[in-house]
Amino acid sequence: MAEPRERWTSRTHFIMAAIGSAVGLGNIWRFPFVAYANGGGAFLIPYFVALLTAGIPLMMLEYGLGIKMQGAPPVAFSKVKKGFEWLGWWSILAAFVIITYYAIVMAWCWNYIYHSFTVAWGNDANAFFFSKVLQLSDGPGKLGGIPLGVFIGLLLTWIAVYLIIHKGVGRVGKVVMATVPLPLILIAILVVRGLTLPGAAEGVNFYLNPDFSKLLEPKVWLAAYGQVFFSLSLAMGIMIVYASYMPKDSDVTNNAFITSFANCGTSFFAGFAIFSTLGYLAQCLGCNVSEVAGAGPGLSFVTIPTAISMLPFGAGFFGVIFFITLLTLAIDSLFSLVEADVTAIMDKWGITRGKATFGMCLVGFLIGLVFASRGGLYWLDIVDHWINNYGLTAIGLVEVIVIGYVFGTRPFREFLNSVSEVKVGVWWDIMIKVVTPIILGVTLVISLYEEFSKAYEGYPTWALIVGGWAVVVGIIIVSLILGRSRSKKGVSQ
């Protein structure tokens, strides 16, 4: 007889775990720059519209699927309609690909926490990151060896992930009670430090000064929807899996509101830490804030360290604080991705949690070695671009079409309202059936057009085929195979 499904110890643990998953590196290294580049404070208007018309409705859909179907995405979609198990595997495999390179960023964080004690990057953070830490090769064709520091960081990351999730969601619930509030407290320290630096007001002004003319540009609205979509950990199966560990009569809609507002509130707050620091850096360098503003690894591992080294006192201390913030932001996003994959494996083949977790961590670590190599950054950039633009966007699009037109929004909404504290009206149906598919469809078409207009970041075509198209098409093929394969336990539990 099958064992009863694991459960979160409390609703708080579930919400904290979901917030921890949604709040990740993108909140600190993507949102502030996207806001600045798309109208500053005016960007908040399309951002809130996107949150209310796509982000929260989709979050309700994923929570609802998990709670109603009581299983990982393959189980959930096979219960929506027979023959749709592959759609669940598609999201699970996309999550798996993300796992393999997301862990690398954490490996860099471990290194930078160590180097922060001596502010080892000195006055040339750029050379330190690319030449010393990454030992970056000339191009994707030269993988080279693996820098020892990155290797150790990767190992530490995977050991941490294994220890957190191999005992089940009970332990995850306890861990997130520390790993979710901690980075918020650390961001608050960075905000206070940043705002008390000279030039901070100028930096924050760049972040929030509104340019309302930008609201007439469609790309600004698409950027807002993209930011909301990618920031909420949607289409990766995580929210479905986390919700599947809640009882079948649990609240859906209010949990979605809480998670989404907490996630976006964190992004908004983190922007003050980033832009106040950039304002200080610009003043130190005697340049405009726009010249130092950036996003992604360049911001976190080059620009901010440069600013940290120029602090009047406590550079090492604030360096440690900043990189522990990144590490703790990333860890619960990473183990939520691994948890999604582990749950899908357990549901399908009845493998014990311990074995599934160990296997997943080992494979994730081994594949991650490619991204840890000296040419790994190029591959990380390519795979990340493709999996976001053609993996997650496409999965989200198919997901809303399946729920909207195959299962039907009305019966789904009736379920949501039967269990939830906040009732949703017909507006939810419209968002799922019309607004979100149009936005995701348009985003997909524009991305495809741009892809064929010019080679992404000037990479050689063979690298884009291997790291981009082959990965995206490959996971679709594998998900179709897995969707048709027989399970030991049977997906319809």
Partner 1 sequence: MSAGAWIMLIFGCVVLYGGLAWSLSRTGKKR
**Residue 170 lies near partner 1 (rule: CB under 8 A):** no
Write the single-letter amino acid at 416: L
Q: Which stretch, 39-47, 175-183, 364-372, 459-467, contacts partner 1 (CB under 8 A)?
A: 39-47
Alpha-carbon gap, residue 163 to 160, rounded angstroms: 5
Query: Which conformational region is residue 486 in: left (phi greater than 0), alpha (psi within -120 to 50 degrees), or beta?
Result: beta
| Sites for partner 1 among residues 187-206 (CB under 8 A) | 201, 204-205
Burial of 139 (0-12, 13-18, 19+ CB in 10 A): exposed
As given in the structure block, the two tokens for residue 429 are: 């149906």
- Minimum CB separation of residue 220 from partner 1 in Å reads 15
- Rule CB under 8 A: say whether 482 interacts with partner 1: no
264 near partner 1, judged by CB under 8 A: yes
* 29 vs 192: CA distance, rounded Å: 18
Q: How many residues does the chain have?
A: 493
User: Which positions from 205 through 234 interact with partner 1, judged by CB under 8 A?
Assistant: 205, 207-210
Q: Are 476 and 390 in contact (CB under 8 A)?
A: no
Smallest distance from partner 1 to CB 208, Å: 4
Least Å distance between CB 49 and partner 1?
11
Among 87, 190, 236, 262, binds partner 1 (CB under 8 A): 262
- CB-based contacts of 290, cutoff 8 Å, min separation 6: 206
Question: Is the Cβ of residue 209 or residue 352 nearer to partner 1 in the bound state?
Answer: 209
Regarding 415 and contact with partner 1 (CB under 8 A), the answer is no
Q: Does 60 bind partner 1 (CB under 8 A)?
A: no
Which of 155, 177, 363, 419 is in the footprint of partner 1 by CB under 8 A? 419
Closest CA to 443 of 235, 213, 212, 271: 235
Q: Are 275 and 261 in contact (CB under 8 A)?
A: no
Helix, coil or strand: residue 121: coil
Give whichever of 210 and 359 is closer to partner 1, judged by the CB atom: 210
Interface residue with partner 1, options 151, 257, 317, 415 (CB under 8 A)? 257
**Residue count, binding to partner 1 (CB under 8 A):** 31
How much of the chain is in helix, strand and coil states, percent to nearest 5? 80, 0, 20
Among 146, 258, 310, 367, binds partner 1 (CB under 8 A): 258
Q: Which CB, 261 or 349, lies closer to partner 1?
A: 261
Could you list the residues that contact partner 1 (CB under 8 A)? Answer: 10-11, 40-42, 44, 48, 201, 204-205, 207-210, 246-247, 249-251, 254, 257-258, 261-262, 264-265, 268, 419-422
